[in-house]
Amino acid sequence: MITLLTLFPIAGGLLVLALSKLGDLARVVAVVFAAGALAVAGLFWYGLDPRNPGMQFEEHHAWAPALGIAYHAGVDGLGVLMLVLSAVVTLMSLAASWRNEKHGPVYFALVLFLEAGLFGTFTALNFVHWFIFWELSLIPAFFLVRIWGGNGRAKAAAQFFLYTMVGSVALLLAFLALFVATGQFDFVQLAQLGRSGALTTALGQNLHWGGSPEHLAMLLFWAAFLGFAVKAAVVPFHTWLPSTYAEASSETTMLLTGAMSKMGVYGFLRVLLPIFPTQMQHAMKPLLWMAVASIVLPAFAAWAQKDLKRTFAYSSINHLGYCVLGVCVAAKFTGSDAGMAAEKAAALTGVLLQMFSHGLTAACLFWFIALLERRSGGLRGIEDFGGLRKVVPVFSGLMGIAIFASLGLPGLNGFPAEFLIFKGAFALAPWASSAAVLGLLMTAVFLLTVIQKVFSGPVNPRWSAMPDLTLTERLALAPAIALMFVLGLYPQLITGMLHTTVMQWVGGMGF
Partner 1 sequence: MSASWIVRNLWLIPALPMVAAGISALLKKGQRGLSAALAIGSMGTALALAVMAFVEALAHPAVQVLNFQWLQFGDQWVTLGWLLDPLAAVMLVMVTFVGLLIFVYSLGYMAHDDNFARFFCFMSLFAGAMLGVVIANSLLLLFMCWEVVGLTSYLLIGFWFHRPAAAAAAKKAFVTTRVGDLGLLIGMVWLYAQAGTLTFYDYGRGCLEQGAVSAMAAHITVAGMAVSTAIGLLIFCGAMGKSGQVPLHVWLPDAMEGPTPVSALIHAATMVAAGVYLVARVYPLMSGTALEVVAWVGAITAIFAACIAVAQNDIKRILAYSTVSQLGYMMLGLGVGGVAVGMFHLITHAFFKALLFLGAGSVIHGCTEEQDIRNMGGLRRWMPVTFATYACGMLALCGFPLFAGFWSKDAILHAAHGWGVSRGPFYLGAVGALLTAFYMTRQMYYVFFGPQRVTDAGVGAAPVASHAIPAEQIEPVVSARPGEVCAIADPHESPAVMTGPLAILAVFACVLGFAGTPAWPWFQNFLAGQTTRFDWAGFGEPGLMSVMMVSSAIVLVGLMLGWWFYGRKPIVRVTDPDALEKLQPGIFHALANRLYVDELYGVTVIALARFCAGFAAWLDRWIFGGAVRLVSWIVTGVSWLDAGVDKYVVNGGFDEGCRELGRGGRLLSHLENGRVQNYLRVIAGALVVLAVLLLWSHRG
Provide the terminal-to-terminal Cα distance of the chain, rounded to the nearest Å.
Answer: 36
Shortest spacing between CB 423 and partner 1, in angstroms: 5
User: Which listed residue (130, 133, 268, 455) binds partner 1 by CB under 8 A?
Assistant: 455
**Would you say 457 and 387 are in contact if contact means Cβ atoms under 8 Å apart?**
yes
| Helices 308-330, 492-509: inter-axial angle, 10-degree rounding | 40
Q: Alpha-carbon distance 364 to 88, whole Å?
A: 11
Residues in contact with partner 1, total (CB under 8 A)?
Answer: 70
Name which position in 198, 304, 379, 482 contacts partner 1 (CB under 8 A). Answer: 304
Binding mask 231-270 for partner 1 (x = CB under 8 A): ----xx-xxx-x----------------------------
The answer to whether residue 420 forms part of the interface with partner 1 (CB under 8 A) is yes
Contact with partner 1 (CB under 8 A): which of 111, 172, 369, 502? 502
Kindly give, in sequence order, each residue whose CB lies less than 8 Å from that of residue 272, ignoring residues fewer than 6 positions away. 221, 224, 225, 228, 280, 327
Residues in a beta bridge with 149: none
Binding mask 45-84 for partner 1 (x = CB under 8 A): ----------------------------------------
| Cα-to-chain-centroid distance, residue 402 | 17
Rounded to 5°, the CA angle 158-267-331 comes to 135
User: Among positive and negative, which fits the CA dihedral 269, 90, 232, 434?
Assistant: negative
Q: Is position 478 an interface residue for partner 1 (rule: CB under 8 A)? A: no
C-alpha torsion sign, points 179, 184, 188, 192 = negative
- CB 194 to partner 1: min, Å: 21
* Secondary structure class of 511 (helix, strand, coil): coil
Q: 74-113 burial string, b = 16+ CB within 10 Å, else e? A: bbbbbbbbbbbbbbbbbbbbbbbbbebeebbbbbbbbbbb
Is 92 one of the binding residues for partner 1 (CB under 8 A)? no
Q: x/- contact string, 372-391, with partner 1 (CB under 8 A)? A: ---------------x-xx-
What mask of x and - would describe binding to partner 1 in positions 334 to 373, judged by CB under 8 A?
A: -----x-xxxxxx-xxx-----------------------
Query: What residue ranges bind partner 1 (CB under 8 A)?
Result: 159, 162-163, 235-236, 238-240, 242, 297-298, 300-301, 303-305, 339, 341-346, 348-350, 387, 389-390, 393, 397, 404, 409-411, 415-416, 419-420, 422-423, 426-427, 430, 433-434, 437-438, 440-442, 444-445, 448-449, 451-452, 455-459, 491-492, 495-496, 499, 502-503, 506
